[in-house]
Chains A and B, each alone.
Chain A
């Protein structure tokens, strides 16, 4: 099993550009989530999904969109990038009955 994979590893955008961060898991987990990690702030939940077709907002959802058309994939879309979205983004997955979450390696995003 590859676990949770994220692409790209690094990305530089200009203000106003859009892009999609990819996340995939091969563990058949129903739960997937996106976090951002900023220096001194810990991880903050952006959006999460409890199954295909079901998504909900986390703590910091503004400026981000998600969809979940399959169990495996949970892409995060930045519609119009802003410098405040410069961060490291982590995708995670988990399964019901146990709360452990499995994290991907992260995407480091810089918005100029």
Chain B
């Protein structure tokens, strides 16, 4: 399997704190995406970073990509209780279809009020 791996598996923080999740993958990629999944719901796309980009921002989200280490991080600043969810990274691999995503196992984030 070419799955990415998120770290940590679970993270519990207080509202207002920052949350950082990491993702590692095994082979060269075209793009890396982050998705959020609220309990019992489908996945929602958060942000995409291309292999030639190193950092990207979207609102309170900051994503970095280090292709030399085959890793990415997702930072959520000033977290809110509504950010409680599972977060997944997904990659599509160089030489493969852009549509074939490989997901990691996810990080469960709990933001306590």
Contacts and interface: CB of A to CB of B under 8 A. Distances in A.
Interface in A36-57: 40-45, 48, 50
Contact of A43 (B43, B44, B48, B92): B43
Contacts of A44: 103
Interface stretch (A14-22, A61-69, A72-80, A101-109): A101-109
Interface string A76-112: 0000000000000010101010111111111000000
A50 B45 CA distance: 20
Given A90-B42, A101-B45, A106-B41, A45 B92 contact: no
Contacts of B64: none
Given A42-B88, A43-B88, A48 B99 contact: yes
B69 interface: no
Interface string B80-113: 0000000010101000011111111110000000
A104 B42 contact: yes
B1 interface: yes
Nearest to A106: B42
Interface bin, chain B: 20 to 34
Q: When A and B form their complex, which 3 residue pairs have the shortest distance between CB atoms, in order from nearest?
A: A103-B42, A43-B103, A42-B105
30 contacts: A31-B99, A33-B101, A35-B103, A40-B105, A42-B3, A42-B88, A42-B103, A42-B104, A42-B106, A43-B103, A45-B100, A48-B97, A50-B97, A59-B1, A90-B42, A90-B43, A92-B43, A98-B48, A99-B98, A100-B45, A101-B43, A101-B99, A101-B101, A102-B45, A103-B42, A104-B42, A105-B41, A105-B42, A106-B40, A106-B41
